[in-house]
C-alpha cells in the first residue's frame, strides 16, 4: 500500500492514546500553576473554528507523513488548540513539544480548502507555550535570551558576532578547535552542526551597497531589505539583487543597520519582540516615497507581509503597518510585475532545477515568477524537481531543534535533486540554500535565482565590451 493510500485510510482516525497523553501532565516536568491564556486568548476564535477536519492537509504535512499520528498533523494540532481555547485542555509540556515538532512549513495552507490561517494559529500557540513556561529549562531560557533578545535584536551585536565568526573561520582557528576536542563540551545538537556552520562573508551588505544607488534612467524607486542571516552569510546575494534592480530602472534605497525583521522571533513564540523589530524596520523606511520594498529571503518575506496583524493593537503603527504590507514584494514577484529585461547573449548549456522555499510558495503564493526568471537566462535548461514544494528540513532553526527529522527531509530532497541530473540548484531562501548545499556537498552548486540573473546581466555587459 502506498503512502498516499495509507494516509487516506487513516485520515479520519484520531490517535486517542496520544490525545490522552497530551491531556495528562508530564511526569518528567514539575507541576506548574495554570496561568490565564494570553496569546491564544487574544486569538480570534473564528480562526480556530475554520478547520473542517476534512484531512486534505494530511498528505502535505511532512511530520504526519513520517509518523501517521493524528496529533502530528495540522488537523490534530488545530484540534488541540481548540481544546485549549475551549478550556478543555491545559497548555502542557507535551503540547509545547508537539508545536515545536511542527516545521511551520505552511504546506497545509496551500492544501486547505477552507483557507485556515494556520500561520496565525501556529505563532499564537508557540507564544502561549512560552508564556506558560511549560518548556522552561535554565539552558533553554539562556539561549533564547541570547539569540532572540540580544544577538538578533541588536544590529550592532549581530554584526559583532558575525565579525568574530569570520575571524574564527578565516584565521583557521576553527580547524584547531575541531582537532582539540573542546567541541565535546557543547551540547550534541550544536556539536553535530558545527562542521556545517555557514561561511560568514568578509564584507557585509553595507560595505557592498551604497545607501542610495541610481540607474541611468529611473522608472521606479524601491527600498532594499538586507536581513540578518542574509546580511552576514549571503551579502553577495543582496548586492546581486541591487544590481538586477538597477538594470531594470529602479533607484534603490538601502537604510543602514536594519537588523532582523522579527520573523525569527514570531516563529519562536516571542511576538512582543517581533513587534519591536517590526516598528524599528518601519521607522527606517520612508514608505510613502517608495514604489516597493524588496526582500529576497522567502522566510522573511512571508513575515514582512503581515505587519498589520502583528501591530493590530498599536494605534501609532497600525496604519503604517498596513502601508508597509502593501509595499513589500519578493524580488521575483517585483521583477515579473514590472516586466524585467531578459538578458541577451548566449552561454554554455547547463541544467538547473528549482527548489521552492516553503515560505515563498506556501507562505506568499509565489511559484511561477522564479521559474520565469530562470527560463529567461541564456543557457539554462530548467528541469522540474520532484516534490519541489516539500520542505528541505531547514525550517528556521528546525535542523537544530529536531535534527533527526530535518536530516530525513534533507536526504529526501537531495535524492530528488540527484534524479534531475542538474548540477545547479536554484532556491530563494538562505536556510534552504544552506540545507541543500550541505546535503549536496560538491556535487551541485546552489544559487539564488536573482544571482543567476545578475550573472547573466554581467556576462551580457562583458560580451558587449569585447564585441
d(CA 130, CA 268): 9
Is 126:264 a contact under the CB 8 Å cutoff?
Answer: no
d(CA 357, CA 446): 13
Q: What is the pLDDT of residues 280-311, one digit of tens each?
A: 999 999 999 999 999 999 999 999 999 999 99
d(CA 304, CA 20): 38
Neighbouring-strand partners of residue 213: 252
**Could you tell me the CA-to-CA distances from 372 to 170, 233, 341 in Å, in that order?**
37, 26, 12
Residue 114 grid cell: 477552507
pLDDT tens across the length of the chain (467 residues)? 444 454 445 444 444 444 454 444 444 444 444 577 888 877 778 888 889 899 999 999 999 999 999 989 999 999 999 999 888 899 999 999 999 999 999 999 999 999 999 999 999 999 999 999 999 999 999 999 999 999 999 999 999 999 999 998 899 888 888 778 777 777 666 666 666 778 899 999 999 999 999 999 999 999 999 999 999 999 999 999 999 999 999 999 999 989 899 999 999 999 999 999 999 999 999 999 999 999 999 999 999 999 999 999 999 999 999 999 999 999 999 999 999 999 998 889 999 999 999 999 999 999 999 999 999 999 999 999 999 999 999 988 898 888 899 999 999 999 999 999 999 999 999 999 999 999 998 888 999 999 999 999 999 988 765 55
Helix, strand or coil, per DSSP, at residue 396: coil
Give CATH for domain 350-466. Answer: 3.40.50
Place of cell 496561568: 35
Q: What is the pLDDT of residues 243-252, one digit of tens each?
A: 999 999 999 9
Instruction: Give the residue extent of every domain in the chain.
Output: 15-132, 141-338, 350-466
Contacts of 275 (CB under 8 A, 6+ apart): 262, 310, 311, 314
Residue 87 grid cell: 478550556
- Say how many C-beta atoms besides its own lie within 10 A of residue 178's C-beta: 12
Helix, strand or coil, per DSSP, at residue 268: coil
Express the helix, strand and coil content of the chain in percent, nearest 5 each: 55, 5, 35
pTM score, two decimals?
Answer: 0.88
Give CATH for domain 15-132. Answer: 1.10.1060.10
CA-only gyration radius of the chain, Å: 23
Q: What is the pLDDT of residues 28-41, one digit of tens each?
A: 444 444 577 888 87
- Say how many C-beta atoms besides its own lie within 10 A of residue 374's C-beta: 20
Amino acid at each position: 500500500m502506498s503512502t498516499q493510500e495509507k494516509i487516506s485510510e487513516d485520515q479520519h482516525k484520531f490517535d486517542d492514546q496520544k490525545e490522552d497523553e497530551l491531556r495528562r501532565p508530564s511526569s518528567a516536568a514539575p507541576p506548574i500553576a495554570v496561568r490565564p491564556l494570553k496569546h491564544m486568548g487574544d486569538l480570534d476564535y473564528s480562526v480556530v473554528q475554520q478547520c473542517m477536519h476534512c484531512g486534505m492537509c494530511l498528505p502535505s504535512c511532512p511530520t504526519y507523513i513520517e509518523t501517521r499520528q493524528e496529533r502530528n498533523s495540522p488537523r490534530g494540532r488545530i484540534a488541540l488548540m481548540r481544546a485549549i481555547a475551549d478550556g478543555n485542555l491545559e497548555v502542557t509540556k507535551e503540547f509545547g513539544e508537539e508545536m515545536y515538532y511542527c516545521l511551520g512549513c505552511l504546506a497545509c495552507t496551500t492544501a486547505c480548502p477552507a483557507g485556515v490561517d494556520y500561520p496565525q494559529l501556529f505563532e499564537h500557540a508557540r507564544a502561549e507555550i512560552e508564556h506558560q513556561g511549560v518548556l522552561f529549562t535554565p539552558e533553554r531560557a539562556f539561549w533564547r535570551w541570547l539569540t532572540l533578545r540580544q544577538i538578533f535584536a541588536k544590529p550592532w551585536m549581530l554584526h559583532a558576532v558575525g565579525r568574530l565568526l569570520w575571524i574564527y573561520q578565516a584565521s583557521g582557528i576553527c580547524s584547531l578547535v575541531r582537532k582539540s576536542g573542546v567541541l565535546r563540551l557543547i551540547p550534541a545538537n550544536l556539536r553535530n552542526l558545527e562542521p556545517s556552520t555557514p561561511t560568514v562573508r568578509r564584507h557585509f551588505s553595507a560595505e557592498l551597497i551604497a545607501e542610495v544607488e541610481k540607474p541611468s534612467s529611473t522608472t521606479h524607486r524601491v527600498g532594499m531589505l538586507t536581513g540578518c542571516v542574509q546580511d552576514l552569510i549571503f551579502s553577495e546575494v543582496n548586492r546581486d539583487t541591487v544590481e538586477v534592480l538597477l538594470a531594470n530602472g529602479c533607484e534603490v534605497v538601502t537604510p543602514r543597520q536594519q537588523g532582523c525583521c522579527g520573523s525569527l522571533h514570531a516563529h519562536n513564540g516571542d511576538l512582543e519582540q517581533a513587534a519591536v523589530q517590526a516598528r524599528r524596520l518601519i521607522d527606517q523606511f520612508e514608505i510613502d516615497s517608495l514604489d516597493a520594498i524588496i526582500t529576497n529571503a522567502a522566510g522573511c518575506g512571508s513575515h514582512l507581509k503581515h505587519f498589520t496583524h502583528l501591530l493590530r493593537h498599536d494605534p501609532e503603527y497600525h496604519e503604517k503597518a498596513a502601508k508597509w504590507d502593501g509595499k513589500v514584494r519578493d524580488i521575483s514577484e517585483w521583477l515579473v510585475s514590472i516586466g524585467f529585461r531578459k538578458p541577451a547573449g548566449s552561454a554554455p548549456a547547463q541544467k538547473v532545477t528549482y527548489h521552492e522555499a516553503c515560505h515563498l510558495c506556501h507562505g506568499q503564493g509565489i511559484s511561477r515568477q522564479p521559474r520565469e526568471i530562470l527560463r529567461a537566462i541564456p543557457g539554462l535548461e530548467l528541469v522540474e524537481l520532484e516534490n519541489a514544494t516539500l520542505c528541505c528540513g531547514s525550517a528556521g532553526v528546525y535542523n537544530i531543534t529536531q535534527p533527526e527529522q530535518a536530516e530525513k527531509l534533507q536526504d529526501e530532497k537531495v535524492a530528488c535533486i540527484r534524479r534531475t541530473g542538474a548540477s545547479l540548484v536554484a532556491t530563494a531562501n538562505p536556510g534552504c540554500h544552506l540545507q541543500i548545499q550541505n546535503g549536496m556537498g560538491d556535487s551541485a552548486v546552489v544559487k539564488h535565482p536573482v544571482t543567476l540573473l545578475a550573472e547573466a546581466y554581467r556576462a551580457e555587459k562583458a560580451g558587449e565590451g569585447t564585441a
